[in-house]
Structure 1
């Protein structure tokens, strides 16, 4: 009989390096689901969620080709907490269902759910163990500005909207401090992977 894979939640603040960590786990053969991808799947044209969003916010949240105009939607909810809550109440359960379906297909001993909002969205409840990729805030800001060419203020605004480091770290079973180079980071991922393969149900 095959045992169902246990689920590792992988998260980290903006610029922490969680994408590099996620990629290396994939290279090691671990089944991975990205919550951001699931969030895109649920609002594709033809999906009921998109219809509800248009009904609620009006047709100007659609692009000419019928796809969701994310920038337009973001600008409507960015400053309005009430509207953001409405959208989250609609999407979070649907995203959760997509994630569960994808995780269920895993062939590896454990599967990973990577999500920048793992803690805030309650998605950590879908997981058995949480790995937080952490980095000093100054380094997060430098990396993000270099990657997205965004301003210092923009990065600070995103950092504020994401769970505080304390909140994230308080949910962590494992913490990977990413303040060195990529080679070191990959070695750490391999060390964690070897450890995770020894776990049953994600608990030591």
Structure 2
């Protein structure tokens, strides 16, 4: 069985994914794959550098994520350009890993953490989609604290994604992460038990 895991930025997807891994799930993290394709030797990185220029690089030739983020989160066209370069490669690698795990370990749950799952139209790849939910104001506060962003910077990152309330409505499985870690853990335990009964 596979589950697509999504939510909004700073809603707690990583916390939930680790709770699932602790119970025996296999995790494929789209953000990890996204970092891998941005290593200097990867063809995707070369294409991004060509498109955005040397201003997005650190002195050692690696990607300066902050500089690239400033460009793409303040300009919709630039963000689309970046996604057009990176998303096909990330999706291909994600699908390859899903197929490998499902063939090699069919009895285990494969969880694929994709922040932009709905935005990318990928829900059809999964048997179920789990959404980690946090009310928008709490999401904003957590993002500002976690990443040291101003209110405006945090707002622009949240606006770059589908509204969390829309994701909540579309979820097959909803994990409300606004009630504390223990309550989140209890919801995951209930999901795990229900899944085991299938």
> Which category describes the TM-score, using the shorter chain as reference length?
0.7 to 0.9
The corresponding residue for 1:189 is: 188
- In the TM superposition, 1:1-20 aligns within 5 A as 6-20=1-15
SS in 1 for 2:149: coil
Moved over 4 A (4+): none
Find the aligned partners of 1:83 and 1:147 in 2 and give their Cα distance.
25
Find the aligned partners of 1:67 and 1:136 in 2 and give their Cα distance.
36
The corresponding residue for 2:134 is: 135
1:60–1:146 Cα change, 3 Å: closer
The corresponding residue for 1:39 is: 34
Q: How many residues align?
A: 194
The corresponding residue for 2:118 is: 119
> Is 1:55 matched with 2:54?
no
What CA deviation, in whole Å up to 9, does each residue of 1:98-135 have, x standing for no partner? 11122234335220111221111233333221011112
What CA deviation, in whole Å up to 9, does each residue of 1:56-111 have, x standing for no partner? 22222222222222222223333332222222112111000111122234335220
What TM-score does the superposition give when structure 2 sets the normalisation length?
Answer: 0.87
More helix by share: 2
**Aligned Cα root-mean-square deviation (Å):** 1.9
Find the aligned partners of 2:148 and 2:37 in 1 and give their Cα distance.
29
Uncovered stretches (5+) of structure 1, i.e. residues with no partner? 1-5, 200-204
What TM-score does the superposition give when structure 1 sets the normalisation length?
Answer: 0.85
Find the aligned partners of 2:94 and 2:196 in 1 and give their Cα distance.
22
